[in-house]
Chain A
Amino acid sequence: MTEAMKVSAPYSTQLAFGPTQRQVEVGQLIDITPDAPFAFDCGATMPSITLAYQTYGTLNADKSNAILLCHGLTGDQYLLGPHPVTGKGGWWEDIVGPGKVFDTDKYFLIVSNVMGGCLGSTGPKSINPATGHVYGLDFPVITIADMVRAQVLLIDALGIDQLFAVIGGSMGGMLALEWAVRYPTRLFSCAPVCTAAKHSAQNIAFHEIGRQAVMADPAFMGGRYIDAGTFPAKGLAVARMTAHVTYLSEVALQEKFGRRLQNKQAITFGFDVDFQVESYLHHQGKNFVERFDPNSYLYITRAMDYFDLEADAGGNLANAFAHTPVRFCVVSFSSDWLFPTEESRHIVRALNAVAANVSFTEIITDKGHDAFLLDVPAFHATLRGFLDGCAIARGLR
């Protein structure tokens, strides 16, 4: 942390969620005022930013056991429950704790809500000091690099020079890669999981469908729904339903639902829910709007669309990793069609081209992209193995 950087004491605050703008207390926010205003890639600046984060485990004396875990598109800082908004478990509930893959007896885990998110970090739901109203679409369009720059400030604020690992799946994997490329000396190891060095045309397409669904909802009101007292729940639900299909695999959908009907013996010749798969998607959409901000959805999907490490490296991804000291473990899932294995292989080849220390495995599973959040023993064994190997090399016990 530099001399001039100012960091507030951690505090909690009330945030509003869902169509009813239900108030929820969200903890552990800090305000960071860096030496120079926070500069976004788009050119905008902010004198200070707020980051919400959770930690698990204890930072050791030489601050060498910190792991930054980066959440996916709609994830957040709650690895473990109870989640303040949903009341349910966290996103890596099963593998975080004493003796687990992310052993809280051994490691100090840090997770922060990304910038642009809606669970406490600065984002479109924050108050714009210039107007006294929420930013809405006046919030600067953010990038993955902006999110990571904000995380670097958090790690500075925590007084940690080098993270033991930066790990994330999906968008979290993009953040992990961005860390490794921009700040190679500030992490010992990096595990980008089911991710890509650049967002594909297909993925941009799905994001655009989601954004159009949100913006086409009359309640969206040009992003000013909070001021207007409305909420584009239908649009956001459709966005989530579409996205959710991309997180699964055809096999998984078929096995889970097939053509089974929902609480009925025969089709109804109508457009209400007939099939279980419809009911499931409706349920996913309905839950989602209770916890996620529509504007945040636009901003974060856009940040992913803009992500292109290869272009940043002049068209050759290997250049991005030249001389990297970081140890990598790249993981993909065989049935993931959103971030297919080929995307991971592309990263691995670039790392090989610069003779980096890299491991790679494609986990065989029918659980699709969501596999990184589910009980997939081979994935967990790989993560554990990688962390164990890195811990030996780093002299952690």
Chain B
Amino acid sequence: MSKTLRPDLAVIASLVAPGARVLDIGCGDGDLLHWLRTHQQVDGRGIEIDQERVYKAIARGIPVIQGDVTMDLPHYPDASYDVVVLSQTLQTMADPRAVLEQLVRIGRKAIVSVPNFGHWRNRLQLMLRGRMPVTSTLSYQWYDTPNIHFCTITDFVILAEQLGITIEDRVVVDAAGHKARFTGRGFKANLLGEQGVFLLSKRG
């Protein structure tokens, strides 16, 4: 049983209202959903692509669909969930824009966390060594990374603006797991944050 949550998941959990209907996309073994169900009486569902993780989550009593975001999300009705969660997955998607639009369509709110490529360590590695950054949060080599669409916190904010998605809350998490709210495009957050967590909703 998970006593503590990964820092970005803890931030996500803090943004979910008790009793909400939650869809966690890329839910893994169901850690977040299990936490939310136990501590916040959330009615949670998950989507996960890995078979082993799917039946581990099912065994915890969490309904999980083995599926693929691109293929499955379009079949969910509008506003069928209070909250849709996508943690640390957007950067692995073939079409992050389409996924974001799906998230705010299916959920009245969406919570998205992204690793921040703009963190000073990444910037420094690229500038000084001239090599693609490899850090504790971005631990892959360029040739084996699942992260095909990197963005910075500022990039993310700008995309949301372009898509007409409202950012209701924006939180940055640093390497030590400290979290802080920020505003606007987050110049400082973009330099110091390892992850950005955003609470989104469709405008209008």
Residue numbers of A with Cβ under 8 A of B are: 327, 329, 345, 348-349, 352-353, 355, 357-364, 378, 381-382, 384-386, 388-390, 392-393
Contacts and interface: CB of A to CB of B under 8 A. Distances in A.
Given A361-B54, A381-B55, A385-B59, 8 more contacts: A329-B58, A348-B67, A353-B75, A359-B63, A361-B64, A384-B59, A389-B59, A389-B61
A364 B63 CA distance: 19
B75 A357 contact: no
B78 to A, nearest CB: 11
10 nearest A-B residue pairs (beta carbon): A385-B59, A389-B61, A385-B58, A349-B75, A382-B55, A361-B66, A360-B65, A359-B63, A361-B54, A355-B80
Contacts of B67: 345, 348, 360
Contacts of B76: 352-353
B51 interface: yes
Given A353-B76, A360-B67, A361-B54, A381 B61 contact: no
Contacts of A390: 61
A88 to B, nearest CB: 30
B59 A362 contact: no
A364 B49 CA distance: 12
B58 A361 contact: yes
B109 interface: no
B51 A363 contact: yes
Contacts of A393: 61
A276 to B, nearest CB: 32
A359 B75 contact: no
B55 A385 contact: yes
Given A329-B58, A348-B65, A353-B75, A362 B51 contact: yes
Given A352-B76, A353-B76, A361 B51 contact: yes
Given A364-B51, A381-B55, A385-B55, A359 B65 contact: yes
10 contacts: A348-B67, A355-B21, A359-B65, A360-B65, A360-B66, A378-B51, A382-B54, A389-B59, A389-B61, A393-B61
Contacts of A355: 21, 77, 80-81
Nearest to A332: B66
A362 B65 contact: no
A357 B55 contact: no
Contacts of A385: 55-56, 58-60
Interface string B37-63: 000000001000001101110111111
Contact of A378 (B55, B65, B75): B55
A198 B59 CA distance: 29
Interface residues of B, number: 23
Nearest to B59: A385
A384 B59 CA distance: 7
B168 interface: no
Contacts of A384: 59
A357 B63 contact: yes
A122 B172 CA distance: 68
A361 B55 contact: yes
B169 interface: no
B62 A389 contact: yes
Contacts of B51: 361-364, 378
B72 interface: yes
B80 to A, nearest CB: 5
A385 B54 CA distance: 10
A345 B72 CA distance: 9
Given A358-B63, A361-B66, A386 B58 contact: yes
A362 B48 CA distance: 11
Contact of A362 (B60, B61, B62, B66): B66
Contacts of B72: 349, 352
A189 B140 CA distance: 42
Contacts of B58: 329, 359, 361, 382, 385-386, 389
Nearest to B75: A349
A386 B54 CA distance: 11
Contacts of B63: 327, 357-359
B85 to A, nearest CB: 16
Given A352-B75, A389-B60, A358 B80 contact: no
B136 to A, nearest CB: 32
A362 B66 CA distance: 7
Contacts of B59: 381, 384-386, 388-389
A349 B66 CA distance: 12
Contacts of A327: 63
A297 to B, nearest CB: 34
Contacts of B61: 388-390, 392-393
A60 B200 CA distance: 48
A193 to B, nearest CB: 13
A45 B1 CA distance: 55
Contacts of B64: 359-361
B70 to A, nearest CB: 13
Contacts of B80: 355
A392 B75 CA distance: 29
